[in-house]
A and B are shown apart, each in its own frame.
Chain A
Amino acid sequence: MEQPSSHLKIRRANGVSVVEFADRKILEELSIQEIGEELSHLVESEAGIKLLLNFKNVDHLSSAALGMLITLNRKIKEHNGELKLSDINRQIFEVFKITRLNRVFDIHGTSEQALDGFQS
């Protein structure tokens, strides 16, 4: 089941909320706050949420987007949930490496690998 929303495509798979970004440009500054709010509501809607962010549609990133992801990760931990990221392209992954945030986030090559990594 897919729920329409302005910036995110959300589906369920094996008890995991799988989120894709609806637009390649969504991580630009103008939209980041709205995306952060949408994801925050999603986390609040389910205790212990298992959330997978699929980056396959993302081809750009900013420090503001990284900040939003850090805040989201913290919130998910506070709600005893789990966050994983997948399908990050080479250029975007380089940003995670340069900022050392590849050590903060649980990053997987594909969504299938990430889904396998969630605790059942």
Chain B
Amino acid sequence: MSAPEHFGVDEASLAELVVPSDLRSAKASEDRILAELARHKYEGDTIFAIKLALEEALTNAIKHGNRNDPSKHIVIRFHIGDERTAIMVRDEGNGFRPTALPDPTANANLERPNGRGIMLMQAYMTKIRFNEAGNEVWMLKENRTRPPAKSKSRSLRR
């Protein structure tokens, strides 16, 4: 529930939203976070990256975590500062093993229509960490970072 220590985010600075598990509610939360990024004058590429990763996390939580059950909820916690943004998305599902996902950029998987969300979150954020269960993800974006690298081999676990 708390941000990973190395994210450098003070617990007291986190805002929390609990929203119904549907795409429109998620979009409203996303819009609130994007407005906050604009208020902190994040540059376009950084906003693009955070928006993309946040949408993937929210979509995963609604579709795969809460299995499109509108009676369930999503918890979003976030800190937006001039130096970094940290966002957590948690669903009520049973979680999954992110390390067990096939590599969507492997030649054999290139034409599969699914399986790119987690990879994009990794590529566009500075760090991402799942909890042990796999139903909560923390994402960190340092502000004014360079464009994302093509591939990254990072641990997905904290």
Residues of A within 8 A of B (CB): 28-30, 60-64, 66-68, 70-71, 73-74, 91, 94-95, 97-101, 103-104
Contacts and interface: CB of A to CB of B under 8 A. Distances in A.
Nearest to A99: B116
Contacts of B82: none
28 contacts: A28-B55, A29-B23, A29-B55, A29-B59, A30-B23, A30-B24, A61-B52, A62-B55, A62-B59, A63-B116, A63-B120, A64-B59, A66-B116, A67-B113, A68-B113, A70-B111, A71-B113, A73-B111, A74-B111, A91-B44, A91-B45, A97-B150, A98-B119, A98-B150, A98-B151, A100-B105, A101-B110, A103-B110
A63 B56 contact: yes
Interface string B122-148: 010000000000000000000000011
Contact of A60 (B23, B51, B115): B51
B59 to A, nearest CB: 6
Contacts of B116: 63, 66-67, 99
Nearest to A91: B48
Nearest to A77: B111
Q: Which of A30, A60, A73, A94 neighbours the largest number of chain B CB atoms within 10 Å of its CB?
A: A94
Secondary structure at the A interface, as helix, strand, loop or mixed, is: helix
Interface string B22-63: 011001000000000000000011001001100110010000
B112 A99 contact: no
Q: How large is the interface on B (under 10, 10 to 19, 20 to 34, 35 or more residues)?
A: 20 to 34
B98 interface: no
A70 to B, nearest CB: 5
A97 B104 CA distance: 12
Contacts, number: 61
Contacts of B23: 29-30
B105 A99 contact: yes
B112 A70 contact: yes
B95 interface: no
Contacts of B20: none
Interface string B48-90: 1001100110010000000000000000000000000000000
Contacts of A62: 52, 55-56, 59
A94 B113 contact: no
A99 B114 CA distance: 12
Nearest to A90: B45
A104 B105 CA distance: 11
Given A91-B44, A94-B147, 16 more contacts: A28-B55, A29-B23, A61-B52, A62-B56, A63-B56, A63-B116, A63-B117, A67-B114, A70-B111, A70-B112, A71-B113, A98-B119, A98-B123, A98-B150, A99-B119, A99-B120
